[in-house]
Copies of this chain bind each other. A is one copy, B any other.
Amino acid sequence: MTKKAMHASQNLGQKKANEVQTKKASQKSDFTAKLLEKILKRITPSEEEKKKELAVVKGIIKRISSIKGKHIKAMLCGSLARDTHLRGEQDFDIFVLFDKELPRGEFEQLGLKIGIEALKGYEHWLEYSEHPYVKGIVDGYEVEIVPCYKVSKACLLKSSVDRSPFHARFIQKNIRPEQKKEVRLLKAFMKGIGCYGADIASEGFSGYLAELLILKYGTFLDCVKAASQWTPGLKIALNEAHLKKCKATSTLVFPDPTDPKRNVASAVSLEQFSRFVFACKKFLERPSEKFFLGAKQKIPTQISLLLKERHVIAVCLRFERDEAKDTVLGQMKRLKNLISQELEKNEFKVFASSIANTDKDVYCFLELERNSLGKLAKVIGPPVFDEKNVKAFLKKHKRVVSGPRIENDRIVVVEKRKKLYAREFVNDLILFLSKQGKEPIKSMLKKAVILEKRGLVKRCKKPEFAHELARFLIGRERFL
C-alpha cells in the first residue's frame, strides 16, 4: 500500500468509527427520549384526575370564602396550582391570607378556626411548622389549610410560610407550558433516587427548587447533564445579580428569585447533593426506568437470611392520632443521630442508620458491627506526675483484672465492663429522652419497642415493616 493509500484507508477507518459513534449516540438519545415519554405518561395526572383535584380544592376555597372573619382570601399554592404535580402527589396546600397588621395571637387563632371550620365533617387534626395549622383528609386527598400574612414583597414577609404565595405566582408567571413536563420528570427523578423533599428528615430538593432548576437549564435532560458536573459549594442563579445578594454558603446555593437573600437550596445536605450528582452521572451513562419513581427493589421472602450474621436494632414507635408526622420524622432524625453518637462514643461501630415510616409506625434502624463490647476494657488514667488525680484514679479502680501499671507516662488498668450490649445503651438513652425530650416524640418514646434478632424476624409478619427492614438491609442506592 502506498503512503497515500494508507492515509486514505486510515481516514476511512476514522470516518467509520466516527459514524459508528454518532449512530450509537443517536440510538441512545432515541432510547432516552422514548424512556422519558413512557415515564411522563406514568407520572402525569390525567385531565380527569386534575379536574377532580381542582374540584375538591374549589369546594374548600368556597367554604373558606363563605366563613365570616378577617381573612382576605384563600388561594391554592403548591404544585397543583402550577400544574407541575405528580400523579398520586395528593396533598393540597391552601393558604388563607390575612392583613399584615393583624396581631400574631389573633392571626394564629383565626387561622386555626378557619381551618377547623373548613374541614368540618372531614377527618382533621392540628400540625405545627412555624405556626399551627390544620390538616385533614377530603375525598382521599390530604389538605393543609395554612394561614399566612399578605405582604407586598417577599422580602417583607412576617412568617416563612408567607413566601408560598410568592413562589406560586413566580412560577406561574415564568414557566413555559412545555416546561411543566420537564419539572415533572425532574421531580420524579429526584423522588426515584430518594432526594426529593426539603423537610428535616429528607434534607433534599424542594419542588420549588426543581422548578427553578428547569427554569435555569430549560429541560430535564439539560439539567441532568449540568448537574452531573456539579461539585459541592456550587452557586447558581436565574439571574447572576442574585448571587451577589445571597450571602449563603452551603453545599448548593440557589437564590430565591422572589427574595434573593434567601437560599432555596439551604436544606440540601452534602449527601443528597452527592446522591443527585452521582445519579445524574449514572443516568447519562445508562438511562433506565429505575431512576424514576423509586424503582422497586426485590424484597427477599426470607428476611432472616438477610439478617444472618448481621447486628440490627430497630426502635419502633407508634404514631398516635393527632401527632404531627412531619414533626415526628424530624425528631426521629435527631433521635437516630443521638443513638448513633451514643453507640460510637461507647466503642460500637455503626455501619448504617436510617428512619422509615409506615402509616402507623415510625422506625429507627441501626446496623452495628457487633451487638456487644469486649468483656474487658482498658482504662487509661492520668500521668503519674499528676499526684492528686493518680490517687483518685487508683482509689476508683480497685477491682481490676490487670494492672495498675505504667504505660508511657500514664497509669492504666484493665477491668470488667459494666454494660456490654448495644441494646442496653439504646434502651438507657430512650429512657432518658422519654423523660427529658420534646413532645410529641417524648410520649411516643415511653411506649417504644426495641427489636433485635428474633424480635425483628417476628415483626416481619407485618409486610410494611418487612419491606422497610429489607430495604435497610440491602442498603443499596435505588438507582444502582
Q: Which residues of A contact B (CB under 8 A)?
A: 231-232, 270-271, 273-275, 277-278, 281, 309-311, 349, 351-352, 367, 369-370, 374-378, 383-385, 387, 390, 401-411, 414, 473-477, 480
Chain B residues contacting A401 (CB-CB under 8 Å) are 310
Chain B residues contacting A411 (CB-CB under 8 Å) are 278
Q: Is the interface of A mostly helix, strand, loop or mixed?
A: mixed
User: In the bound complex, do residue A384 and residue B351 qualify as a contact, i.e. CB atoms below 8 Å apart?
Assistant: no
Chain B residues contacting A375 (CB-CB under 8 Å) are 309
Q: Which residue of B lies closest to A273 (CB)?
A: B409
Q: What is the bound-complex CA distance between A277 and B387, given in angstroms? A: 11
Chain B residues contacting A374 (CB-CB under 8 Å) are 311, 349, 369-370
Chain B residues contacting A476 (CB-CB under 8 Å) are 402-405
Chain B residues contacting A385 (CB-CB under 8 Å) are 231-232, 274, 277
Q: Can you give 19 A-B contacts (C-beta < 8 A)?
A: A231-B385, A232-B385, A274-B408, A274-B409, A275-B406, A277-B384, A278-B390, A309-B376, A349-B374, A351-B402, A352-B414, A367-B414, A369-B378, A402-B473, A403-B476, A403-B477, A404-B480, A405-B475, A406-B477
Known: A278-B390, A402-B474. 14 other contacts (CB 8 A): A271-B408, A271-B409, A273-B409, A275-B406, A311-B374, A351-B378, A351-B414, A352-B378, A352-B402, A367-B402, A367-B414, A403-B476, A404-B480, A405-B476
Chain B residues contacting A473 (CB-CB under 8 Å) are 402
Chain B residues contacting A232 (CB-CB under 8 Å) are 385, 409
User: In the bound complex, do residue B351 and residue A376 qualify as a contact, i.e. CB atoms below 8 Å apart?
Assistant: yes
Chain B residues contacting A405 (CB-CB under 8 Å) are 352, 475-477, 480
Chain B residues contacting A367 (CB-CB under 8 Å) are 402, 414
Chain B residues contacting A387 (CB-CB under 8 Å) are 281
Partner of A274, one of B369, B377, B383: B383
User: In the bound complex, do residue A376 and residue B369 qualify as a contact, i.e. CB atoms below 8 Å apart?
Assistant: yes
- Residue among A406, A411, A475, A476 with most chain B CB within 10 A: A406
Nearest Cβ on chain B to A311's Cβ, whole angstroms = 8
Nearest Cβ on chain B to A286's Cβ, whole angstroms = 13
- Residue among A411, A475, A480 with most chain B CB within 10 A: A475
Nearest Cβ on chain B to A269's Cβ, whole angstroms = 8
Q: What is the bound-complex CA distance between A464 and B372, given in angstroms? A: 36
Q: Which residue of B lies closest to A410 (CB)?
A: B274
Q: What is the bound-complex CA distance between A406 and B385, given in angstroms? A: 47
Q: Which residue of B lies closest to A401 (CB)?
A: B310
Nearest Cβ on chain B to A366's Cβ, whole angstroms = 13
Nearest Cβ on chain B to A234's Cβ, whole angstroms = 11
Q: Which residue of B lies closest to A394 (CB)?
A: B480
Q: A232-B385, A369-B374, A369-B376 are in contact. Are A407 and B271 (CB under 8 A)?
A: yes
User: In the bound complex, do residue A310 and residue B376 qualify as a contact, i.e. CB atoms below 8 Å apart?
Assistant: yes
Nearest Cβ on chain B to A401's Cβ, whole angstroms = 7
Q: What is the bound-complex CA distance between A474 and B403, given in angstroms? A: 6
Nearest Cβ on chain B to A309's Cβ, whole angstroms = 5
Q: A351-B376, A384-B274, A384-B277 are in contact. Are A404 and B477 (CB under 8 A)?
A: yes
The 3 A-B residue pairs whose C-beta atoms are closest, nearest first, are A402-B475, A369-B374, A278-B384
Q: Which residue of B lies closest to A229 (CB)?
A: B385
Q: Which residue of B lies closest to A480 (CB)?
A: B404
User: In the bound complex, do residue A271 and residue B406 qualify as a contact, i.e. CB atoms below 8 Å apart?
Assistant: yes
User: In the bound complex, do residue A378 and residue B349 qualify as a contact, i.e. CB atoms below 8 Å apart?
Assistant: yes
Chain B residues contacting A383 (CB-CB under 8 Å) are 274
Chain B residues contacting A480 (CB-CB under 8 Å) are 404-405
- Residue among A232, A270, A402, A414 with most chain B CB within 10 A: A402
Q: Which residue of B lies closest to A383 (CB)?
A: B274
Q: What is the bound-complex CA distance between A158 and B135, given in angstroms? A: 93
Partner of A409, one of B270, B369, B376, B407: B270
Chain B residues contacting A474 (CB-CB under 8 Å) are 402
User: In the bound complex, do residue B406 and residue A278 qualify as a contact, i.e. CB atoms below 8 Å apart?
Assistant: yes
Q: What is the bound-complex CA distance between A374 and B475, given in angstroms? A: 19
Q: Which residue of B lies closest to A232 (CB)?
A: B409
Q: What is the bound-complex CA distance between A369 and B378, given in angstroms? A: 8
